[in-house]
Amino acid sequence: MITILKGDITKSNTDAIVNAANIYLLGGSGVCGAIFKAAGAKELQAECDTLSPIKTGEAVITKGYNLKAKYIIHTPGPRYSGPEDAVLLRNSYYNSLKLADEYKLNSISFPSIGTGVYRYPLEDAAKVAIAAIHEFLNDYPNTTIKQIYFYLFDDNTYNTYMNELNKR
């Protein structure tokens, strides 16, 4: 059910991909910049502007525009300041899955939220991410979501999430 891949999330053909957004839902750097570019920045920004701002850990959904994915779920992770941020990072994963379930989606792809510009320590972030997904699946046993993917960009991130998943 959880599959970890190495690669570019903009190439994913799941029903939704998740964007590690900022609270203003502005196209930025990192995975956010890549998603805006691949989706078509002008149209995506116009829709995001109607939803902005949102809070850290919340999630909103837009169309996928030029992506293979039909939808983009945007969630700002925390700018890391300490272990107490775990709940906000957990909320990003949990609320993204809740929204995908509300839209009756079957598949979703996540990047490693928070571990780029927002500097969440990688091993801690992987723990929180995998735990949040299991928490959601426990809470929503009848969810429409059947496939959950991670698209991880570099070896270190990929290996860290693989290790965390294999602990279960």
Q: Which residues bind ligand ADP (CB under 6 A)?
A: 8-10, 20, 30-32, 34, 77, 111-118, 151, 153-154, 157
Residue 111 CA to residue 164 CA, distance in Å, equals 15
Query: Token pair of 114, please?
Result: 């928070």
Angle between helices 122-139 and 155-166 (to 10 degrees): 50
- The CB-of-112 to ligand ADP minimum distance in angstroms stands at 4
Q: Which lies closer to ligand ADP via its Cβ, residue 105 or residue 114? A: 114
Q: Which residues pair with 61 in a beta bridge?
A: 73
- The CB-of-1 to ligand ADP minimum distance in angstroms stands at 20
Q: Which lies closer to ligand ADP via its Cβ, residue 123 or residue 139? A: 123
First and final C-alpha spacing in the chain:
13
Cα Dmax for the chain: 42
- The CB-of-138 to ligand ADP minimum distance in angstroms stands at 25
Q: Which lies closer to ligand ADP via its Cβ, residue 10 or residue 62? A: 10
Q: Which lies closer to ligand ADP via its Cβ, residue 16 or residue 31? A: 31
- The CB-of-118 to ligand ADP minimum distance in angstroms stands at 3
Which one, of 98, 124, 92, 127, lies nearest residue 110 by Cα?
92
Cis peptide before 83 (omega within 30 of 0): no
